[in-house]
Structure formats: structure tokens, C-alpha cells
Amino acid sequence: MNPLPAPRVLEHFFLEARCKLLDLAGILDRIGRGADVDAVTADARAEKINKAFGILMSDAPNKAELIQKLFSLAYDPEWKRPSPRF
């Protein structure tokens, strides 16, 4: 399968990207205006969000994969699959 030309992808997804960026900006604004905002600086979740911005701004061709891995747990071969409840 051949990828779509970049201008066509931009045309197709621009409004969706704009919407998601505005949503994210609103979330970050609410965090920034919150009480005890300095406590967020040491929060691992905030650190991951900042790392994700770095990935988004990079030239990496696999940004979605890198961000998915950033927010995922490492593979554990010893993990036991939950048993179904009956």
C-alpha cells in the first residue's frame, strides 16, 4: 500500500489535529492554573507528557509508536493472564 501524499493527509486531518491540540492546550492551561502547580513538576505523569512533546517535535518517523511505548508498561514475560470470573 502506498502512503497518501503529505499535502492530502494535511488537508484531510488538519481540523482533527487542530481540535486535539486545542483540547490538549486547555488541559495544560487548567493544570497551570491549578492550586499547588509546583507539585505537578515532580509528577511522573507530567514528566511523560513533557517527554511526549519532545517526541512530537522530533524528526522521528514513528512518533505514534514512540509515544505509545512511553505510556505503556514494559513487557513482562512472567505476567499471568487474569482468569475469567464465573
pTM: 0.79
> What share of residues in the chain are helix, strand, coil (percent, to 5)?
65, 0, 35
Q: What is the mean pLDDT of residues 23-45?
A: 93
Q: What is the mean pLDDT of residues 50-62?
A: 97
14 falls in which pLDDT band (50, 70, 90)?
A: very high
Cell numbers found for residue 84: 475469567
- H or E element at residue 66: helix 63-70
Residue 85 clears pLDDT 90, i.e. is over it: no
CA gap 74, 72 in Å, rounded:
6
